[in-house]
Each structure stands twice: as structure tokens, then as C-alpha cells.
Amino acid sequence: VTDAKNNNTRRDFLKIAAVAGGVAFASAKTRPLYAQTAAATGGTFDYIVAGAGHNGLICAAYLAKAGFDVVVLEAKDIVGGNTTSEHMTGTSMVHEPCCNTPGGLYGSPVYRELDLDEWGVQFANLSTLNGMVRLSQFFDGEILPMWLDPEQTADEIARFSRRDSQTYLKLMGELRSGPDVGSYRQTPIGYGPTPQEICAGHPKGATWMRLMRARCVDVVKEYYEDEHVRAWVLDYARGRQPVDDIGTGFGVGDMYGRQRRGNNTVIGGLGALPESLERLLASYNCPVITKKYVVELILEQGKAVGVVAADGDVFRARRGVVSSAHVQQLLTMTPKGSLPEIFSDNLKQWQPDILSMFSIMLDVKEAPLFNVHGDWRPGCGNTINTFESQLRTLADCRIGVVTRGGVGSKCIVQSLEDPTRCPGGGHTVRILTHYPYNLADGGAANWDEIKYDVANQILDDWRQFAKNLDEENILARYVQSPLDIAGRNINNVGGSCHGGSNYLAQSGEMRPVFGWASHRMPVEGLYLTGAGSHPGGSCHGLPGRNAAWVILDDEGKSVPHVLTQLMQT
């Protein structure tokens, strides 16, 4: 199946630009702001939000609930950014090109505060089918399932190491009762306690702080002794950040959320999220306008008072502008000299993720089946190589080498609990792994030459473990390389949906630049949301909520105050 996505002309343009890499934003020449004094041909609003990804829409929703007149401008012809659902394989079946198991959204205050269930976001749990969260299958033939029951998971671990089984249960308990460092993500920088303050005085605080500063590879070896268990734990942690980076030690607990909640998926596809937010905004008479690519920021007396779209339309803002674009677009959207040199210089050094996404989307007749101790079952699974092999694959990613064969990947079958994705029957399958974006051999552009060979190798690996992944059972497929990911959204620099690396120099008070991490940008009236702001990428909506929190604070309000008032009325 060839490219089945919408708006191919724009995609091809973005894909060509993506080959040049993220530095294109930093090196682009500043365009003259030809509309500095132009009339508002597109209208005047209290706030303009540039970008209808889920964070932009969430920020707009909070502002609308607070009584402000908001417009959201989206470059593409559909809303959602990286949270869309599309017919990727060219059939009636529904796939997600980026995010697919949004556990962070399910546990986010955004879901509750915006009543997203009432607006159309309903979850199904893929782990309730047979109680299995995920079946991990090692290339040496061993398996290690995670079950919804942690005791049952511990029994599986005990087949390899009784000590590791006890360590696992102890760690799950400590994560449940330990310092709530995750709450740091749910407030803007400077508005809530820091991780240090959260840990201070807690009996486990010293340990938690050490883990947050350590490397995940070292912590895994500290906690667990068996090589299979170590590889299993490392595999759960490796998708977010390179596990050999400083500051990734808490990845040893990444499986806690899966163990507690299983795998959640949005019924009908994750596109229900932006669609529900669009309906919410419509109820407040706040429009979402597509095919409006914001390219310029209008400044008057040093304040952001509007934007210009690529087609020349001008939108003016009475109170402020919110950008959810890639952070480096601020360098080209703003007039020369309007940003402090220290801010611009640091923003030019913004780094994309090392781990870029590679996925295979399949329409199949029958769901894949996995061998669980002799019983062939449907569910979610993943393939795992050894601890050392995972580190070698990561090292290959750093130098632009594609490891062939034996690379771990995960397989998600959302249609098992959501048949609405397959109106004509059958099932949807997504296989996901990580590779480098910029290849040592041929650069990023070479992905178009090798992606099908890479996909076939991954499928061959899976056929060692799963039934129903043979060619006779596959109805259609779509292969999405890191270059394709970059080409579908101008924010996906480096082939990642997470807006940029979340390593220490780009996380917390450093995101996007130290001194400007509280969503207020150096230009008065300009705010930043999206994956380039705290707490970073993935589908939880917290950058949107946090940005709205700061804006409402500047307006003399707060998110809790606004929600309380709405409940009273």
C-alpha cells in the first residue's frame, strides 16, 4: 500500500525539509513581517492558539472554560497533530500513526477536569481480555508475561530468580507509597514543589533522588540479578529515553503504570481526543480553523498581538498568542532582534530524540496469537533481546546504524477490545520499535530505500513467536519510517513525536530554555505549549494544562478556581 495519508503535497514538502534535519529551523532566515500593521482579515480574538495538536486544543479548552474568546489555527486539514486516527493502510480500518496506548491521558487530571468522557473519549483496556498486560518473548525462546495481578507477574519472575521476584513486588509497593514525584509534571515550573522538595523529609526521598540522577542501566543491574529479568525491565524503560543517559534511573519503575492499569486504548481511535476537544470548544463558540499555517508573529510595542498565516490571513489577539509549534519555529516566527540573544543561542542547540520511531501497521484477517506456556492466546506482546544486545542496538542508534535482526519491538492489537476500528471485520496490528533518524549510510533520505527491507526483517522475527502474521493473513500494510514520521508533522523533527529529547539539558526547568520554562516566552503576551514545554512529549495533555495555568494566573485566575466556578454554576 502506498502513502494513504491526507494532504500528500504538504507531507512531501515536510519530508523534503525533514531530510535537512532540525537545524533547518535554527538556520532559516527571518522573513519580513509584512503584516505588522495589517487589519485582522481572519478576525480578532482574546487568545490565538497556533496548532491544533492535543496540547494546543487542551490549552484552548481551559481558556474557553474561563470565559475567553479563543481561536485555534491548524496548518493541516485535520486536527489532532500526533493524536490523529487515520486510514493509514488505505482501507476502512483505523490506525494511529503516532500515539496508540495513551495511558498518561487516562491518569491525567486533564481527562477529569475537561470531562472528556462526556465529550466522546472512552477507553478500553486491552489487558482485560485474558488478564495479561504484555507477553515478553526472548529470542532465546524464554517468555516473561506481565499480568494485571502483580503477584502473578512475580510468580513469572520467580521462574528466573526468587530474589528478583521479591525485589519486583517490593519496588511496586515502594512506587505506590513513595514520594509522588510524578506530581511535579502536573504543575508549571515554579508553581509547585520541585522533585527535591517532594522528596525532602520522605523516608525514601534520598533513594528516589539518587534514582532520578542515575543511569537506568546501572539501576537495573543494582536491583535485579538475573539476565532475563534485567533485559525485561530495561526493555520497558528504553522507549522513552536512552537508558544509558544520566537522569534515566527512574525508568526502572516505568512498568509500574502498565502493571497498575494495563494497556489502555481510546475506542474508535485516539482521534476521538482532538475531535472531542473541538466539540468542547464549539460549545463555547471558539472556532478551530484548519489549513491555517501560522508563519509569523505580529508584534506591536514589543507585545504579541496577532499572527499571520501562510496564505496571508491576519488574526489579531487582544490578550495573547499561544504557540504549540516546534520550539525552534520561534526563531523564524518572530522579528529579528525581538528575542534575547541568550534565549536564541540556547534554542538553536535544541536536540531531537536519539530514538526515532519505526512502525508497521497491518490489517489482518485473524488476530495474532502468542504462546503463553503452551496456550496460544491473543493479546499484546513484545520481543526482547539480551541486556547487552539492547545496549549495542542503542549504541548503533547513536551512530546512525540500523541493527538488522533481533531488535526488540512491541505488537499492539487494539481491535481485540475495540472492534469499531474494523468496520468490515478483521483486526488492526501495530508493530513499533526505534531506529536512528539520520543514517550513517545515505542520511535520513535513505530510509525510503531500506524501510521495506527493515519491516520484512521485523516481521520475520515476529513469525518465530506469533501465529497469524504470515502473508496469507495480512490484508494490507503501511510501513512508517522515522523520515515518514518527520514528514507528517513539522513538529516531528528527527522522526519523533515527542518534540525533542527529554534529557537533563532539556527537561524540567531547562525546557525549552532555563529561565523561560514556565510557558511565558521572552516576548510579552507570547506563551509556549506543546511537547517542547514542560513536562514534554507523549499523550497526557499536561503541557496544554500547564500553559493554561500560567495564562490564567496572569489573568488573575487559576485552573482550580475556574473549575470550581464552573461546578457552582
Q: How many domains does the chain have?
A: 2
Is residue 519 a part of any domain in this protein?
A: yes
Is residue 155 a part of any domain in this protein?
A: no
- Residue 396 exposed, middle or buried by CB count within 10 Å (0-12, 13-18, 19+): middle
Output the pLDDT for position 14.
Answer: 46
Tell me the per-residue pLDDT of 198-231, one tens digit each, with 9 for 90 and over: 999 899 999 999 999 999 999 999 999 999 999 9
Across the range 11-29, mean pLDDT stands at: 39
Is residue 147 a part of any domain in this protein?
A: no
Cell numbers placing 328? 525552534
Cell numbers placing 16? 523534503
Long-range Cβ contacts of 373-377 (<8 Å, 24+ apart):
373/143, 376/467, 377/130, 377/132, 377/135
Is residue 134 a part of any domain in this protein?
A: no
For residues 54 and 116, membership in a common domain is answered with yes
Across the range 535-553, mean pLDDT stands at: 95
For residues 176 and 246, membership in a common domain is answered with yes
- Residue 405 exposed, middle or buried by CB count within 10 Å (0-12, 13-18, 19+): exposed
Output the pLDDT for position 39.
Answer: 57
Check which CATH number belongs to the domain holding 277 and give it: 3.50.50.60
In 3D, which of 42, 530, 526, 66 has the Cα closest to residue 299? 526
For residue 95, give the DSSP letter. B
Which of the pair, 563 or 203, is modelled with greater confidence? 203
The model's pTM is 0.92
Most confident among 40-54, 248-262, 538-552 (mean pLDDT):
538-552
Is residue 176 a part of any domain in this protein?
A: yes
Tell me the per-residue pLDDT of 69-105, one tens digit each, with 9 for 90 and over: 999 999 999 999 999 999 999 999 999 999 877 878 9
Residue ranges making up the domain that contains 57: 40-85+100-120+268-351+496-568
Q: How far apart are CA 483 and CA 492, in angstroms?
A: 9
Average pLDDT, the chain: 90
In 3D, which of 103, 415, 58, 83 has the Cα closest to residue 267? 415
